[in-house]
Structure formats: C-alpha cells, structure tokens
Amino acid sequence: MPESSTERETQRLEAFSDGVFAIAITLLILEIKVPHLEEGQSLAKALLNLWPSYGAYAFSFWVIGIFWVNHHSFFKLFRRVNHGFLLLNVLFLAAISFIPFPTSVLAEYLRDPARMRNAVTFYALSMCFPVLAWFSMWLYGSRRYRLIDERLEPGYVRFMTRQYAISNVVYIAAVLVSFFSATLGLAMEIGLSLLYFLPQRSPSYLEPLNTQVDLT
C-alpha cells in the first residue's frame, strides 16, 4: 500500500471522527426544550429556571470539546491505522455520541434531591467508556501493533501509557465516590475536566522533526 494512501486513510478517520464529535456536541442543545407557560407565568423566570440545563449543556460541550482537542493531538502520534484500530475507534465514538443522554438525565434530575445521586453516578459511569476506549486505542496502537510514529521517544510513550492508566483509575473512582456523595462525584467530574486548562506535555521525538518538512 503506498504511503500516501495510508496517510489519506488516517485523515479520513480523523474527518469521520470530527464529524461524530461535531454532531454529538451540537445535539446537546436539542435537550433544552422551550418552556411552555401557563397563564400569567413569567418567561424570564422560566428561562432562569432552566439553569441545570444550561449548566449541563456547557459542561458536556466542554467535555466533548476537550475529547476532540485531545483526539486531535492523539492522532498526530499515529502514522497508520489498521482494521482493528478502526473498530476500536468506532467503539470510542459510540461512547462519545452517548454523552448527550446522561447529560439530559443530569439536567433533568439535578434539583431532585432523591434522584440526583443516581443521575450523577450514571453520568460518571458514562464518562468511563470514552476514557477506557481511548486507553484501548493507545495500548492497541503502541503495544499490540506499532501504529504510532516510530520516532517517538520510548520515555514519552511510557509517560502517556501511565497517564492514560491513571486517568482510567480516577474516572472509575469518581463513579464510586458518587455512590456516597453526589456533590463530591460531580465536583470530581468538573475537576477532571478543568485539568485540561494546564498545558500538556508535548511529544518528544528521537530525531529532530524539522528536517522532514518536505516529506510530510
């Protein structure tokens, strides 16, 4: 298979994934319904009352947006894809597309003290799937098959493996925490998403890349 065709394949995979990201993120708005008012009710109050929906919209937009930004840098580490990797990516995308559902469950039940805990647990559980699928793609592409750029420094690859593994542990921990305290579980989810404000370690290569400008 010629090199250029393989690269086009990676690009088509990225384009498809971007499409799913873009749609999943935009569908979030469909969960906010226009309030239907009774005689004499104030629209302003009804719109303000929708704050859990705005909050859930903003938060899930942010979370999917972060996954997209990272998918973006993640794929720069790969040189090629294969059948199995494509299938794992489908699973990952299924987990991303699922997010609008737990988001609206959360928005609906955030103010219901008897059910908020269940809603948070469900949300936290749903967040484990994309994180787990991500980790599988990484292990599959860096260990099982060498799909990643062979010029990546082994130290960097080990660092990422460790980081993704920890990420899984923390997301699972958030599910367990939410059994005991919905507020604490939710705080963990928010905290995890805010971590991405920090600059991330950029990939290190065994050889300088700028000598390769014309080849890529």
Shortest gap between Cβ of 62 and a copy of itself (angstroms)? 7
User: At what angle are helices 116-139 and 83-98 packed, to 10 degrees?
Assistant: 160
Shortest gap between Cβ of 147 and a copy of itself (angstroms)? 15
Residues binding a copy of itself (CB under 8 A): 1-5, 9, 12, 14-16, 18-32, 34, 37, 42-44, 47, 57-58, 61-62, 65-66, 68-69, 72, 76, 83, 86-87, 90, 93-94, 97-98, 100-101, 104-105, 108-109, 115, 118-119, 121-122, 196-197, 199-200, 209-210, 212-213, 216
Shortest gap between Cβ of 43 and a copy of itself (angstroms)? 4
The residue among 22 and 169 lying less far from a copy of itself, judged by its C-beta, is: 22
Bridge partners, residue 148, by sequence:
78
Retrieve residue 103's tokens.
Answer: 């988001």
Shortest gap between Cβ of 136 and a copy of itself (angstroms)? 14
CA–CA separation, 30 and 50 (whole Å):
13
